[in-house]
Amino acid sequence: MNAQKRHEIFTRLQAENPHPTTELNWNTPFELLAAVLLSAQATDVGVNKATARLYPVANTPQAIIDLGIDELKAHIKTIGLYNTKAENLMKTCHMLVDLHGGEVPGTRQALEALPGVGRKTANVILNTAFGQPTMAVDTHIFRVSNRTGIAKGKDVVEVEQKLLRHVPKAFLHDAHHWLILHGRYTCIARKPRCGSCIIEDLCDYKDKTELA
């Protein structure tokens, strides 16, 4: 795919949704980190309900440590995978206190060393809390990038690097959200809605008849 096509694609996605944002609620880097950690395989709406209960009680690493694992689990029990997430968040809080003065570190290496924080979560933190130009490639972005031809790659790292290289600068910050929204509502995994897709004429996906 050429640069002009990419530019046109993001121009249309931007027109469709001028100001895309995370729907996760947070006020501090730590609140963002905890929310993103909790958001794996969960909806933002669901995470917000849990953090609305948790943060008034505890919104710092030390406060969550003081809360204790059982109380933490009780507060986030409405989210899927809550058991693992509570254990990971608790270990992460201990590491933040013991190794980083209670603050959220701003490097990929330090972030990915935290339990429950992988490449995708680290990219979100680096981008949203530290303003770094990263691309958090999730299942939606991976699928949409490969199907459309915006950035083809065999794994998320390859897609991530191609997106960083090829998405026009002006669109880079919001591209993340546009691709996710497009993947969720139009370029659906099982059955893409090519008929109602606004970039259908610019898309590489040629196998539409089989899955449509």
Partner DNA sequence: ATCCCGAGGG
Partner DNA sequence: CCCTCTGGAT
Active site residues: 120, 138
Q: Which long-range contacts (CB under 8 A, 24 or more apart) does 202-211 make?
A: 202/5, 202/8, 202/9, 202/148, 203/147, 203/148, 203/149, 204/1, 204/147, 204/148, 204/149, 205/147, 205/148, 205/149
Contact 205, 145 (CB under 8 A): no
In angstroms, the CA 117 to CA 112 distance is 5
Site string for DNA, 185-204 (x = CB under 7 A): ----xx--------------
Taking the least distance from each CB to DNA, the nearer of 3 and 212 is 212
Q: Which 127-186 residues touch DNA, going by CB under 7 A?
A: 136, 138-140, 176-177, 180, 183-184
Q: CA separation (Å) from 75 to 69, 79, 97, 120?
A: 10, 9, 21, 25
Candidates 53, 62, 68, 77; CA nearest to 30 is 62
Taking the least distance from each CB to DNA, the nearer of 115 and 149 is 115
Site string for DNA, 85-124 (x = CB under 7 A): ---x-----------------------x-xxxxxxxxx-x
The position carrying tokens 């770094």 is 132
Taking the least distance from each CB to DNA, the nearer of 43 and 62 is 43
126 near DNA, judged by CB under 7 A: no
Binding residue count for DNA, defined by CB under 7 A: 42
Taking the least distance from each CB to DNA, the nearer of 3 and 132 is 132
Burial class (CB in 10 A: 0-12, 13-18, 19+), 52: exposed
Site string for DNA, 1-40 (x = CB under 7 A): ---------------------xx---------------xx
Q: Which 50-89 residues touch DNA, going by CB under 7 A?
A: 77-84, 88
Where on the chain is the footprint of DNA (CB under 7 A)? 22-23, 39-46, 49, 77-84, 88, 112, 114-122, 124, 136, 138-140, 176-177, 180, 183-184, 189-190
